[in-house]
Amino acid sequence: MQSYEQSLRQTKQFLLDHDDFLVVSHIQPDGDAVSSTLAVGWLLSCLGKKFSMLNEGPIPTRMNYLWEADKIANMSVNPPERTFSNVICVDCADFQRVGLTQRYFEPGASIVNIDHHPTNNGYGAVQLIKPDAAATAEILYDLLKTFDIAWNIDIATALYTGLLTDTGGFRYTNTTPKVMEAASDLLSHGVKGPELAETLLEEMTLPQVKVLSRALQTLEMSPNGDVAWVSVTPQDMLDCGAANEDLEGIVNYPRNIRGVEVGMLFKVIHDQAVKVSFRSAGKVNVAALAQTFGGGGHTRAAGAKVDLPLEQAIPHVVKEVSRLL
Amino acid sequence: MQSYEQSLRQTKQFLLDHDDFLVVSHIQPDGDAVSSTLAVGWLLSCLGKKFSMLNEGPIPTRMNYLWEADKIANMSVNPPERTFSNVICVDCADFQRVGLTQRYFEPGASIVNIDHHPTNNGYGAVQLIKPDAAATAEILYDLLKTFDIAWNIDIATALYTGLLTDTGGFRYTNTTPKVMEAASDLLSHGVKGPELAETLLEEMTLPQVKVLSRALQTLEMSPNGDVAWVSVTPQDMLDCGAANEDLEGIVNYPRNIRGVEVGMLFKVIHDQAVKVSFRSAGKVNVAALAQTFGGGGHTRAAGAKVDLPLEQAIPHVVKEVSRLL
Ligand SMILES: [Mn+2]
Ligand SMILES: [Mn+2]
């Protein structure tokens, strides 16, 4: 097994030794996929290499500020007119993630697999995989540093975009010292970090917004304002076309109200059962609280199931929470 | 006028030359105020100095994870029993911002003024002011680096908290390469950045949540989903106890829906006039759009006033926006 430094050198050599590359990323590309495609393209153009960039579908319009984002061909609009024998796959945990773009890979094409997913299954002739990198953009940051090329705002903006989106705006647990150091370096090249954060980090689906709206309509608080809660019924979910994942984050709204110590989301499962999510602002250990209801979790985020109808579950749980405050 | 480096040296010398300090910050302390108070306290304790930390009011409970946050006395609960002749004021743009804590300053006390507000009026015998610092915590980061002290997670967490809150989670325009470099260094001391971001960055007031809920109930979209809008009436404002500032950010909800290119907030001013806020995801220049209604702004954020009742203003404006898409 070769080291990361060896993989960097091997990848560099592959790029230097060949000409005419196809650069692809995964279907429904996210910020890191688009950025990484463009970062490889930028490097290849600096090296004077021939290359094409391709995706199975369109690039999200909110990323059209990126250098040559319009040069990533959408396969169903302007497919390549030929196949390629050197293919660079970025941010794809497995080969199938490239989608239909593989039609343009020559049989037996040399694949360079550049990725950060811990689940990457190691396809490709050249593998540059770093599972503890926050983003593929972080790996490309390292790769580009091995070349003697002057960086500009275009490449810096692309790499910053990948770091920003894959760390949720430097908020996920993959936000390492290395990520922040790279971000610092990229900002020094003139990246408009604040603008990118606004554009990229706040997307929601329509069902998410709809079910958030329903939930907020049910907002209630304890008399002294230290407990707040919202609820969602199966009918709400149906009306909004919402799945469970669309509820993610809703419990933070009651928790985030100034003065609130415990925020809760009551999700009705059926007539006699409610799932309760607890979020604490710090004073109350909600893991212990959830345990008293047979649930569990962390000190600030926990959950439990209560076998009562919603209208009984709420006062019952609120009473227990208030006892702790 | 002395340089920043000279001010750092002068401040360091003042701390070394004296003993027995009072450390205060501004009334209704924010993350930077609390963090900076504690960072100075941490430094003084490392130097073996006598000191007290004081605020006019309570420290927000969501900051109680900070090292010795409970040692910042709340003046109305446990006031000091005496006055101090050496006072360190952090994050206070003017002297009055310390509030009633000044009762505990000896007449003629030596004041050290450590702050980053461009409006700082230069009070105090020693001034350590850096108007382009993102936070007072950034200045204290520099000050502490001038001492030969081993850092730990306590001081790193305090300083990170100040940076995080005063940059809105590394999203405001004060997010410089220096800020990210310091954040990187602080994370390397074990700071739980992601946890802090969750705890500190998402607070809302009750009127804000209520008026957001009202607005989301009015959500509408164009047939093909590229324009979305919400509206707020004077009655909504009244019912929610909301001020204009509580509307900030609401227009982002329609804009942030996947596929939406232009999001709008219609705020009814009176029967015959509506204020429209426009947000673009990139494709449409909403500054130009707003200009056609006699308004203005930036390419991605603009506003205009339309002299029509709401029910006529909406279709009129939506038609103009759709024409551009
Ligand atoms: Mn990725
Ligand atoms: Mn500040």
Q: In what order do the strands lie in the sheet with A227-232?
A: A220-221, A227-232, A262-270, A273-280, A301-306, A296-297
CB A51 within 8 A of CB A45: yes
Q: Does residue A212 share a domain with residue A182?
A: no
Statement: residue B273 has pLDDT above 80: yes
Q: Are residues A127 and A244 in the same domain?
A: no
- B149 Cα to the center of ligand 2, angstroms: 24
In the predicted model, is pLDDT for residue B56 greater than 90?
yes
A194 to B216: CB separation less than 8 angstroms, yes or no: no
Number of domains in chain A: 2
Same domain, yes or no: B39 and B180:
yes
Q: What is the pLDDT of residues A241-300, one digit of tens each?
A: 999 989 988 999 999 998 899 999 999 999 999 999 999 988 899 999 999 999 999 888
Confidence band of B186 (pLDDT split at 50, 70, 90): very high
CA of B134 to the centre of ligand 2 (A): 7
Please indicate whether, in this complex, the C-beta atoms of B225 and A204 are within 8 angstroms of each other.
no
Whether residues A183 and B188 touch (CB distance < 8 A) is answered with: no
What CATH number corresponds to the domain at position B146?
3.90.1640.10
Q: Residue B218 has what DSSP assignment?
A: T
Name chain A contacts of B249, Cβ cutoff 8 Å.
none
A304: helix, strand or coil: strand
**A-chain residues within 8 Å CB-CB of B225?**
206
How far does A257 lie from chain B, in Å, by closest CA? 5
Distance A252 CA to ligand 1 centre (A): 26
Q: Is the pLDDT of residue B62 over 90?
A: no
Of the candidates B202, B225, B254, which is a domain's last residue?
B202
Long-range contacts of B9-15 (CB under 8 A, 24+ apart): B9/B146, B10/B126, B10/B128, B11/B112, B11/B114, B11/B126, B11/B128, B11/B143, B12/B143, B12/B146, B12/B147, B14/B86, B14/B110, B14/B112, B14/B126, B15/B43, B15/B44, B15/B47, B15/B49
Residue finishing a domain among A202, A223, A243: A202
For B53, the token pair is 């930390």
Query: Same domain for B267 and B290?
Result: yes
Shared domain check, A226 and A186? no
List B74's β-bridge partners, or say none. B55
B258 contacts on A by Cβ (under 8 Å): 203-206
* Interchain proximity B206–A225, CB inside 8 Å: yes
Q: Find the residue in B nearest to A192 (Cα).
A: B173
The Cα A89–Cα A73 span in angstroms is 15
**Beta-bridge mates of residue B278:** B264, B302
Residue B1 has pLDDT above 80, yes or no: no
Q: Residue A245: its pLDDT value, please?
A: 85
Kindly determine whether residue B187 and residue A206, on different chains, have CB atoms separated by under 8 Å. Answer: no
Cβ separation A206–B183 shorter than 8 A? no
SS (H, E, C) B62-82: HHCCCCCHHHEEECCCCCCCC
B238 and B95 inside one domain = no
Same domain, B105 and B154: yes
Q: Which of B171, B184, B204 sits opposite A180 (nearest CB)?
A: B184
Is the pLDDT assigned to residue B117 strictly greater than 90?
Answer: yes
Query: Using CB atoms, which residue from B179, B193, B256 is nearest to A175?
Result: B193
Residues B133 and B191 in one domain: yes
A42 and A154 co-located in one domain: yes
Tokens 């309509």 belong to residue: A217
CB contact under 8 A, A180 and B180: yes
Q: What is the pLDDT of residue A50?
A: 98
Name the residue range of residue A280's domain. 206-323
Q: What is the pLDDT of residue B248?
A: 87
The predicted pLDDT at position A61 comes to 84
Question: How confident is the prediction for chain A on average, in pLDDT?
Answer: 95
Sign of CA pseudo-dihedral A255, A260, A261, A263: negative
Q: Residue B234's beta-bridge partner residues?
A: none
**Pick from A173, A188, A282: which is nearest to B65 by CB?**
A282
CB B271 within 8 A of CB B302: no
Q: Which of B204, B252, B257 shows the shortest C-beta gap to A257?
A: B204
One domain for residues A53 and A152: yes
| CA-CA-CA-CA torsion sign (A33, A37, A42, A44) | positive
What's the confidence (pLDDT) of residue A188?
A: 98
CATH for A295: 3.10.310.30
Q: Do A178 and B184 touch (CB under 8 A)?
A: yes
Residue A88 pLDDT: 98
Whether B12 and B160 map to the same domain: the answer is yes
Torsion angle (degrees, nearest 10) of CA A206, A209, A210, A213: -170
Q: Which of A52, A43, A42 lies closest to A11, judged by CA?
A: A43
**Given this model, what pLDDT does residue A273 score?**
97
- Same domain assignment for residues A34 and A183: yes
Q: What is the pLDDT of residue A68?
A: 94
Which residues partner with A52 through β-bridges?
Answer: A22
What are the residue ranges of helices labelled H in chain A? 4-17, 31-46, 136-145, 153-166, 177-187, 193-200, 206-217, 234-240, 252-255, 286-292, 310-323
> What is the per-residue pLDDT across B282-310, written as a single tens digit (0 to 9) for each?
889 999 999 999 999 988 899 999 999 99
pLDDT, residue B300, reads: 86
B115 Cα–ligand 2 center, Å: 7
State the pLDDT at residue A198.
Answer: 82
Sign of the dihedral defined by the CA atoms of residues A153, A158, A164, A167, in that order: negative
Please give the distance, rounded to the nearest whole angstrom, from the Cα atom of residue B161 to the centre of ligand 1. Answer: 27
Tell whether the model's pLDDT for residue A1 goes beyond 80.
no
User: Is the Cα dihedral A89, A95, A98, A103 positive or negative?
Assistant: positive
Mark which of B140, B169, B202 sits at the end of a domain: B202
Average pLDDT over residues B57-69: 91
Phi, psi for A106 (deg, rounded to 5): -60, 145
Q: How far apart are CA B100 and CA B105, in angstroms?
A: 10
Task: Report ipTM for this prediction.
Answer: 0.83
Q: What is the largest CA-CA distance in chain B?
A: 72
